Amino acid sequence: MKISTKGRYGLRIMLDLARNDGETPRMISDICKSQGLSNKYVSRLIIELRKAGMISSVRGAKGGYKIKRLPKHITLLEIIETMEGPLSIVDCVGCPKKCKKSANCSAREIWSEANEKIRREFESITLQDILNRQDNAADYCI
């Protein structure tokens, strides 16, 4: 399993919005500048985050985007699955029909258990937890 740029950048966008949450909505250009990301890509990713109800858009000359819920109520799993789809370390875990041997495969149970452990771990980490780690780190990279 590898988390793509969609998942990593989705998290960076959410962290940026959470860190800069205030009276004024955050413009895409500001997010792009602070995160070193392309405007076109961020614009596409924001649509997914907005559809998932994690951020809201504010129209107008001073419009932009705001985080919609408290960071302590948004999990890493929610962000990753919004950006990447359901977490599955191997195809047969998420969709047993993709493998002809899944009904009699002893390894599938191991993959399922590992997948569930990863899901639980990602679900236990909130956006606030990640912000707290950033506050304690001299430098960070996501």
Under DSSP, the state recorded for 67 is: E
Q: Note the pLDDT tens digit of each residue in 34-58.
A: 999 999 999 999 999 999 999 999 9
66 three-class SS: strand
- Which CATH number is 26's domain given? 1.10.10.10
9 domain-assigned? yes
pTM score > 0.85 for this model?
yes
Could you give the number of structural domains in the chain?
1
* pLDDT score at 18: 96
* pLDDT score at 108: 80
Instruction: Look up the domain containing 9 and give its range.
Output: 5-86+126-136
**Contact (CB, 8 A) for 53 and 79:** no
Q: Following DSSP, what letter does each residue of 78-142 receive, concatenated?
A: HHHHHHH-S--SSHHHH-GGG-TTGGG-HHHHHHHHHHHHHHHHHHH-BHHHHHHHHHH-SS---
**Calpha distance 32→87 (Å, rounded):** 27
pLDDT over 70 for what percent of the chain? Answer: 93
47 domain-assigned? yes
Residues of the chain with pLDDT under 70: 136-142
103 domain-assigned? no
